[in-house]
Amino acid sequence: MLTTRFVDGAPNWIDVGAPDIEGVASFYGGLFGWEFGSAGPDAGGYGFFRLAGRIVAGGMRTTPEQGPPAWTVYFQTSDADATARAARQTRGGVPVPPMDVMEQGRMAVLTDQVGVPFGIWQPALRRGVEAAGEVGALCWAELYTPDIARAAAYYHAVLGWETSAVTFPGGVYTSVSPAGTGEDGMFGGLVPVADDPTEAESGQPYWLPYIGVEDTDAVVARAVELGGRVRMPATSLAGVGRLARLEDPYGARFAVLKGDPRQT
């Protein structure tokens, strides 16, 4: 389960990059009630999204040279430099090497063996987001990948993840959790991109963050009103909940969920 009692390997931060941070703030503010504010004069334009005063995500203006608008999921590490070395040793990439973020912590952006970017965060003064696993906050994360076994081996080597097979009507889902945490630590899953009807058209592997909601259908309708796009309509999955996959007006992909994926 996603909580703010972070352990190594668990998601502890998310942020979104887009060419218009004011527009992004307006969209997510209207959708989730998030309020955006600067992280400070030394943060280079980076800011925090807050819900009821608690930080739930980060955001920043990005340029086309930095890549398309996207959400990035970050995972906790107690040694960012060692994790970056492990990524290189397992034929991943380190497009943004480990760096100190003032006195808040140490971060890096890595890529797995098929080029999917993700972040790592070594906490110092800031442990991570201040809300998780609840309405309006990160509640799940999925990697859409062309090769489940290869991805599982890579993330085990780099972040220590353990995988388990969860049977559900229609197939088997590969869940992931930090080392030694078992079912209680389950926070996401690995999905074969070619087998998913929504993702198969593009075939693009990527990390997808899920935000918890009270009413999936209402959020989907509101996203469209605000200029977003529906990638997968609101869908109920037995034992899981009601979910939808969306895209903000700038193209960053995310999902919403009412329920708990661990109930599969």
How confident is the prediction along the chain (264 residues), in pLDDT tens digits per residue?
689 999 999 999 999 999 999 999 999 999 999 999 998 888 888 999 999 999 999 999 999 999 999 999 999 999 999 999 999 999 999 999 999 999 999 999 999 999 999 999 999 999 999 999 999 999 999 999 999 999 999 999 999 999 999 887 778 899 999 999 988 999 999 999 998 889 877 889 999 999 999 999 999 999 999 999 999 999 998 878 999 999 999 999 999 999 866 654
Residue 222 CB contacts under 8 Å (≥ 6 apart), including other chains:
30, 31
The pLDDT value given to residue 203 = 84
CA pair distance 190, 207, nearest whole angstrom: 9
The pLDDT value given to residue 237 = 86
Return the domain boundaries, the chain: 11-123, 138-263
Does the CA dihedral 136-199-157-79 come out positive or negative? negative
CATH H-level, domain 138-263: superfamily: 2,3-Dihydroxybiphenyl 1,2-Dioxygenase, domain 1 (3.10.180.10)
The CATH number given to 11-123 is 3.10.180.10
The pLDDT value given to residue 62 = 94
Task: Show the CA angle centred on residue 29, arms to residues 28 and 31, nearest 5°.
Answer: 60
The pLDDT value given to residue 44 = 86
Paired sense of beta strands 11-18 and 229-237, if any: unpaired
